[in-house]
Amino acid sequence: MAYYAQNYDLFLTATQSFCQQCRNLNRLIDTHVVTKDKEVYLRKFCPKCGESMVKISVDFEYYRQCEAYLKQPDLPEKALTQVLRGCPYDCGVCPQHQNHPCLALFNITDECNMKCNICYYAAEPGLGNHRSMEEISRMLDTLLGTESEPDLIQVTGGEPTVHPQILEILQFLKKSPVRHLMLNTNGIRIAEDETFVKALSKLGSGFEVYLQFDSLDSRALKEIRAKDMGEVRRKALEMLERHNISTTIVSVIKKGLNDREIPKILEFSHRYRCIRGVVFQPIQEVGRIEVEGDFRITLSEIRQIIIEDKNNPFTAEDMIPLPCDPHKIGVGYAAKVMSSDEEGKPYATLMPVTGQIPKEMITEQRGTVAFEQDREFVRTIVETVSLDTAMGENILADKIKSKLFCCWPSFLSPTNMGYENVYRIVIMEFSDIYNFDTINIKRECNFMIEPDRVIPFSTYNMGIARSQ
Ligand code: SF4
Ligand code: SF4
């Protein structure tokens, strides 16, 4: 075995991962984080398969920036499992975990009206298994045991809108102490059922739709979703716009397929008043996803495409690491004002704000969700945003709180601004057998909620936690 060849430039740290060749999830292997030609790799040592390298960043400078943004952990209020075998075999959440559930996912059904090639859950028509209200109530109790005031609950599946009690479930969760509720959907029911959309609009502020939107190209859609979903997505967005329902569109990005479409997707998102932002998710190898050649893309590559796009205003300074999980989540926020283009079509003018906020203000806060309780911090944000905004004459006149995102501070803004004036770009990378490492997994802040456990999204999807 060709161990310890000098095939790297810098050794950064040691961690543990899995071998993507023998795919043994019961054996962690020694892994080094190293640099080579300004890129960052996991250098893995498998006793069976030998040495391998997995690229985790194409931008060593940004990787270092991520380390600089790392903040004090905001821990779950209570652990639900014990440390017995060690990470990642004690998920649930165990006392070693270094982050609270910023985003709690409630999987309410295994049933779906699609069969996407990239489904994490391998959902498809006929699987059924709708969770009962009693199970969902237990899931909520379990979450509240670790997080008494959750930031964000996302109702997901399968396809949650096929659950016969979907509205009842949303209304039930909306009444819980959660700050923000999201419905993760493929958009089919939203495109076809206006009565349903009207009922969603009655959920009011603090509710948002998280809509699949991977591409504007039918070939790419067929490859990702096994179906050209273009028309469905456009109809769904028209419906959401008509009923003024806050919407985030989410694109799974596969290298060589839809990565170069990122600027077009951003441009498209500027056309809708209801769109609060775009989430880009690098494709990962879980569920039904098969590995074919060099399809992997890293967070840093997506970030580079965004900041090199001359038609959107986000610069390198505006796309920063999220302090609670900096290597896995990158964010950029902007103030948004709708106007019209030269053809009279709606168009958003965006003013990025993240680059204006001093890093210390973001990283020195006590907890990820407690920014708005720090009066000095809020005052500085107000000044920062106000100095750089030219949106209206009554700057700072009558301040209102505009919630941006669960991990980000609420900020005070000019009087005529609200949540509809918020636009964000998020790049969210999850772990799979390639990029998994036992340091970063402890910082994961997206959790699957089960009736008795709270499991990091990646270990759940990789089948590690579910196989216990
Ligand atoms: S991923 Fe988190 S919850 Fe799971 S075993 Fe590791 S530290 Fe514990
Ligand atoms: S990705 Fe979503 S829409 Fe596609 S099969 Fe899976 S659950 Fe259904």
Q: How far is the CA of 75 from the centre of ligand 1 (A)?
A: 12
Domain limits for position 273: 103-330+423-428
**pLDDT given for residue 409 in this prediction:** 43
Whether residue 44 sits in one domain with residue 146: no
CATH code assigned at 153: 3.20.20.70
Q: How far is the CA of 144 from the centre of ligand 2 (A)?
A: 27
Whether residue 253 sits in one domain with residue 155: yes
- Tell which residue, 209, 240, 212, 237, has the closest CA to residue 224: 212
Beta bridge partners of 346: 340
Q: How far is the CA of 368 from the centre of ligand 1 (A)?
A: 19
**pLDDT given for residue 370 in this prediction:** 38
* This prediction's pTM: 0.89
Segment 399-421 shows an average pLDDT of 48
Q: Is 128 exposed, middle or buried (0-12, 13-18, 19+ CB in 10 A)?
A: exposed
Q: Is the pLDDT of residue 344 over 80?
A: yes
Q: How far is the CA of 336 from the centre of ligand 2 (A)?
A: 31
Q: How far is the CA of 438 from the centre of ligand 1 (A)?
A: 8
Q: How far is the CA of 56 from the centre of ligand 2 (A)?
A: 26
Whether residue 235 sits in one domain with residue 140: yes
| Ligand with minimal distance to 108 CA | 2
- Residue 342 in any domain: the answer is no
Q: Is the pLDDT of residue 188 over 80?
A: yes
d(CA 443, CA 98): 5
Whether residue 112 sits in one domain with residue 190: yes
Q: How far is the CA of 207 from the centre of ligand 2 (A)?
A: 21
**pLDDT given for residue 335 in this prediction:** 85
Quote the percentage of the chain above a pLDDT of 70: 84
Ligand 2: atom nearest CA of 159 is 7
* Highest mean pLDDT of the ranges 5-14, 67-76, 121-130, 247-256: 247-256
Q: Is the pLDDT of residue 418 over 80?
A: no
Whether residue 309 sits in one domain with residue 167: yes
| Ligand with minimal distance to 250 CA | 2
Give the number of domains in the chain. Answer: 2
pLDDT band at 286 (very low <50, low <70, confident <90, very high): confident
Q: Is the pLDDT of residue 253 over 50?
A: yes
- Tell which residue, 340, 210, 214, has the closest CA to residue 274: 210
Domain boundary among 57, 72, 95: 57
Ligand 1: atom nearest CA of 441 is 1
**pLDDT given for residue 416 in this prediction:** 52
d(CA 261, CA 239): 24
- Around ligand 2, the residues with Cβ closer than 6 Å are 112, 114-116, 119, 121, 123, 157-159, 186
Which of 174-183, 315-324, 343-352, 409-418 comes out lowest in average pLDDT?
409-418
What are φ and ψ of residue 222, in 5° steps?
-65, -35
Cα-based distances in Å from 275 to 122, 204, 240, 258, 340: 28, 15, 9, 20, 16
Whether residue 7 sits in one domain with residue 143: no
Q: Is the pLDDT of residue 120 over 90?
A: no
Ligand 1: atom nearest CA of 86 is 5
* Highest mean pLDDT of the ranges 8-17, 344-353, 413-422: 8-17
Q: What is the pLDDT of residues 48-96, one digit of tens each?
A: 999 999 999 999 999 999 999 988 888 999 999 999 999 999 999 999 9
Which of 76-90, 234-248, 377-391 comes out lowest in average pLDDT?
377-391
Q: Are 230 and 189 in contact (CB under 8 A)?
A: no
d(CA 343, CA 345): 6
- Residue 222 in any domain: the answer is yes
- Residue 351 in any domain: the answer is no
| Ligand with minimal distance to 186 CA | 2
pLDDT band at 241 (very low <50, low <70, confident <90, very high): very high
pLDDT band at 378 (very low <50, low <70, confident <90, very high): very low
- Around ligand 1, the residues with Cβ closer than 6 Å are 87-88, 90-91, 93-94, 96-97, 441-442, 456, 459
Three-state secondary-structure class, residue 335: strand
- Please name the residue whose Cα sits nearest to atom 4 of ligand 2: 116
Whether residue 203 sits in one domain with residue 282: yes
Ligand 1: atom nearest CA of 91 is 4
d(CA 367, CA 323): 10
247: part of which helix (H) or strand (E)?
strand 247-253
Quote the percentage of the chain above a pLDDT of 90: 65
d(CA 329, CA 297): 14
Q: How far is the CA of 50 from the centre of ligand 2 (A)?
A: 36
